[in-house]
Structure 1
Amino acid sequence: MFFSIIIPLYNRPQEIDELLYTLSKQSYMQFEVLVIEDGSKNDAKAIVAKYAHQLDIQYYYKENEGQGFTRNYGFARAKGDYFVVFDSDCLIPEDYLETVANYLLEHKLDAYGGPDAAHASFSPVQKAISYAMTSPFTTGGIRGNAKHVGQFHPRSFNMGVSREVWETVGGFILTRLGEDIEYSIRIHEAGFKIGLIPAAKVYHKRRTSFLQFYKQLHFFGRARINIYKHFPKELKLVHFFPAAFTVGFVFTLILNVIYPPLAYICDAVIVLIFLLIFFHSWMLNKSLKVAFLSIIAAFIQLTAYGLGFIQDLIKRIVLNKND
């Protein structure tokens, strides 16, 4: 089984260096790497060239179109039986491709996704963000989880599709705003088999600051409405939870000002949620600092996603306006 690893890149030369280093250490070496520079001003051509003797690697530079269409550019030039997509801010365990190859030979998936985790080298903020995106106490619990809600939709930081999927379904028709979910829905509808490979994890850095994390999650909230515009049935009750939390939190703040006795129950619920997050993160990460930061990360995740969701819900559905 031969893999083509597709990596869209935009102004992140340091990240691609670290990612390529981890790929050079793979125990399974039947793969090529295609790095697609998406109109970057700070390109990584020289860094990619360092790995020419360690990897079967190609570097392409194209005009900026966004990550979805950039992946399509790589798909069209790939030679593999499977096309594997990574975000440039991932680190790949040494046994990743070996794990995927063995699983695909046994289970015959047409497309797959895998979970993400925090690497030991990550900063406390990055570990807290990783916790927020994978915790059962936030909406992150449905990402890369074997007990996910509804159909499993691989996420583009760690996903793969067979050549047959590419030749039958094509590639991404959205370049951002939920493009990976939209793509996996079309793969499902075409009758292909999609599954989670639980052991095929990557270490996903995500964002290095809470401000960057807020912007990313606000974007994710907007993306969910974009998916709804294409596939109304894919909007589930769980997707409203961050918006409900956000509205509830604002309502609680107002109650605390105008009539505190009515706010006690709401205050208690919010405190309970944060305590659960704190102790669960402490148990997993063995760090009080990461546990405390996990409360901040979870709050940002819920409110940023919720505000983005509410913004585009009002704009694109209630007011029926498009960008």
Structure 2
Amino acid sequence: MLVSAIIPTYNRARTIGSTLESVLSQTWKELEVIVVDDGSTDDTAAVVAGYGDRVRLIRQRNQGPSVARNTGIKASKGEIVSFLDSDDSWLPEKTARQVNLMQRTAGFGVECCVCNARMVYATQTINSFDVADLRPESPEGVWTNPAQVLMDRFLFFNQVVAVRRELLERTGYFREDLRIMEDYDMAMRLSLSGPWGYIAEPLVIWQGGAENSLSQGVSQVDACLQTFQILNDLKSSSQWGPLLPKHLLHRRMRVLKHRGVAFQLSGQSRPLNRWLGKLLMIYLQMYEKIYWRLPTTPRMSVRPA
């Protein structure tokens, strides 16, 4: 079974080599590697070209992460598609573990699989499942309620996902009108399509604070507003709207709207507005702390593979 590894990049000549080494070192050997250079002005293309026919290089003008990944998807041939950013890395067993799990769980309707990631910052290292409060009872298996869980929280996604091409074709590729939060939009659509496989072991290394990110400079206000718009678009969709858990959707959109207002007020020059913004943020933090303690709050529901 062929797996396509798609790597979008922009001015990452210093890091793209180690990223490619991690992909080429995968124990799963039926692998095609596609790098989409999104308008780099440094030596990124030359570094990639040095790998010869082991890596396919596609160059395009700078158009953002969604377009770059979609370019890679359209050029790829694998039955399963995975993504990796050009300053991060996979552990050697990542692809094999995910393919094997998806094969074992195909009878449950699993067409998408995510693994944990080690997120490395200057001052600490944490796991992405912990950040998203995902605490499965078994090391790997079938995640039966991803849509309910992702409605309330973000999951580190692009670098850890493996998805069948057939599912991508049904749900659609990355939205090219989004410069930020395109991974959350993709994750939500995939989560509404059925159960996922999961691996609780970190099989990806993510480097925090990298320069030349394809979506760098995202403010909290931007993230709140974009997430609200993504959920609103899904709600209005004839394909996805009926599948959304309505009570969770309304709660999440309400919180996002209030949080966006709080961030906007906090950034204004008038002292009264800043004070109101801070007060609203404190209220939201208290509300969220209570919400996460409620027995009705969605938790990760799993079954063995």
TM-score normalized with structure 1 length: 0.61
Structure 1: segments with no counterpart, 5+ residues: 274-323
The corresponding residue for 2:292 is none
Q: What CA deviation, in whole Å up to 9, does each residue of 1:32-60 have, x standing for no partner? A: 1100011222251111123236xx31000
Q: Distance in 2 between matches of 1:72 and 1:213?
A: 19
Tell me: CA distance 1:217–1:17, structure 2 relative to 1, closer, same or farther (3 Å).
farther
The question of 1:123 aligning with 2:112 is answered no
Distance change >3 Å, CA 221–CA 142, structure 1 → 2: farther
Equivalence for 2:49: 49
The correspondence of residues 1-323 of structure 1 with structure 2, limited to 5 A, is 1-52=1-52, 56-108=54-106, 109-118=110-119, 123-124=122-123, 127=124, 130=126, 135=130, 140-141=132-133, 150-152=148-150, 155-176=157-178, 177-189=180-192, 191-199=193-201, 201-208=203-210, 215=218, 217=220, 219-232=222-235, 235=249, 237=251, 240=255, 247=262
* Displaced runs of 4 or more, over 6 A: 143-149
Report the CA distance shift for 1:217/1:10 in structure 2 as closer, same or farther (over 3 A): farther
Name the amino acid aligned to 1:141: D
Q: Which amino acid aligns with 2:117?
A: D
Q: CA 1:44–1:236 in structure 2 vs 1: closer, same or farther (change >3 Å)? A: farther
- Alpha carbons of structure 1 residues 216 and 87: separation in structure 2 relative to 1, 3 Å: farther
Q: Secondary structure at the match of 1:114?
A: strand
Q: What are the superposed Cα offsets for residues 66-100 of structure 1, whole Å, 9 maximum, x if unpaired?
A: 11121111111111110101222311111111211
Cα distance in 2 for partners of 1:3, 1:12 equals 24
Q: Which ranges in structure 2 are unaligned for 5 or more consecutive residues? A: 138-142, 236-240, 290-305
For 2:64 and 2:226, the matched residues in 1 are separated by: 14
Give the partner amino acid of 1:186: R
Counterpart amino acid of residue 44 in structure 1: T
Deviates more, 1:170-179 or 1:20-29: 170-179
Alpha-carbon distance between aligned partners in 2 of 1:148 and 1:81, rounded to the nearest angstrom: 22
Inter-partner Cα distance in structure 1 for 2:136 and 2:39: 30
| TM-score under structure 2 length normalisation | 0.65
Report the CA distance shift for 1:103/1:50 in structure 2 as closer, same or farther (over 3 A): same
For residues 72 and 32 of structure 1, do their structure 2 counterparts lie closer, same or farther at Cα, with a shift above 3 Å needed?
Answer: same
Asked if the contact 2:28/2:93 (under 8 Å) is kept, the reply is yes
Give the drift of 1:238: 5.9
Q: Partners of 1:43 and 1:222 in 2: how far apart? A: 35
Pick which of 18-27 and 233-242 moved more.
233-242
CA deviation after TM superposition for structure 1 residue 20, in Å:
0.8
Q: Which amino acid aligns with 2:42?
A: N
Q: How far apart are 1:188 and its partner, in Å?
A: 4.6
Secondary structure in 1 matching 2:58? strand
